[in-house]
Structure 1
Amino acid sequence: MTNEPKTTGTPRWHKSKDPHTPGAFLKVGRKQIGRVLYSDFTRNYSCFVGQPSTERWLGCADSIDTAKIKVSKAAEADAKREAQVFPAHFDLRPMNCSVQDLEQRAPGLPAMILSREFVTRTIESALLRIPLPAAVLSYDNAAQRLVVRSGGSTLAAFQEFMRQGSEARLLGVEFALPDGWAGATFAELPGRAKTRIRETPLRLYTVPPTVSDALVVSLSRRMNGSLAGETA
């Protein structure tokens, strides 16, 4: 048995039983997460959110109903932020894979609608050995294969450019490519260029399928250089 207050369930308001402190308490189970208190001096309700030891003041309200709404919204926002706090320990493993191994290691990549510019930049990066964005995958037990959780567009660009009969061409919009490369399809590229693309190392990582989508997104942003937060 534990003496910790019960913290599961729907937040509910409870009227104060102390006649000297009229107001109400917002609780989840037995855990207090907010309160409103009437002040005879100011003739309004003070609003607080959080547990008693860490609560913060939200201001005042003219009525108890308005005060309850203010506190409830603040408590809901706090709960959402807490839900986004990820565990410090997770199983993120690098996966040794080149472009030519992709179909074998992660078959059945979904087709995507990609711009010609995006495909060109991806292939240019491979030809010039510019590091590619990282992708995150998980093993799908039902499908019995790896599935892409994040970063699939980079992998799909290789798939689109290299598939048999593809009409995707290198545009040469940012780099002065060697003669015979700009404007070429994969089939039209010289052999050394094809080999260079096939041997391009991919930045792939695997996580267990139980890892949340929100954590996968956060990991991908960090690995790909966006550390400015969720709005980046």
Structure 2
Amino acid sequence: MAGFVGNPDYYERKGSLFLRSDHMNYGRPTLNSNWHQAREAEPKDYNISDPSQKRNLHTATYERIGNSANGFPRTTTQESMEQVHLKRDFEEREIRKPMVSVDTYNEADIDRDTGCPKTGFGSVLPRHHAGHDKRHLETTNRADYKPPFPYTPVPEQPPDFVDNSNGYRKCQSQFTDTADYRRFGRNTWQDESGIYANRDYKRALFPPTNTIPQQLE
């Protein structure tokens, strides 16, 4: 099927040249039902269907196992017999170190020369920086307000100072904030009396005046 592009169309239609044979050896340009399996089997060391090669049934199709061209891999027996070379790793050593536990961690000497840097890139184990256990007990106010910007506290008010700050506060509106959860007192029903909690403070700060001037006689 010359000029084939994309995935194969397995649904045979009228005028299709697709071959459903899977037991015949066709040329590489010819697509049949198992053409993708033939591609996966390549490359072959000896292709019996290649007319350019001399037919010899004693020749194996592949001279390797998998993609390895270095011959056969090591057998299980060879790997087991070579474990005798690992005997030195299990010999008793003169230098002993006690088992590290939570109680003996601070007194344990686990430092050894590995040829790698202690910290940073290339170290065996990650380590904390030098100031990891430092306690930062300095407050923000004490750290920011240092000379030449010392903090000057405001002088305290005298005992007879009258605090009229409540007169400048904005209370919840009884007309626009009728469904507000910030209500005064235990009752939360809608209050339409028009009397605010700081009414007396406002009248003391801003006494009512006559906005209509009196008629001059």
Structure index of larger Rg: 2
Greater RCO, CA 8 A, separation 6+: 1
Q: Shorter-normalised TM-score: what interval?
A: under 0.3
Normalised by the size of structure 1, how large is the TM-score?
0.18
Normalised by the size of structure 2, how large is the TM-score?
0.19
Structure with the higher fraction of residues in strand conformation: 1
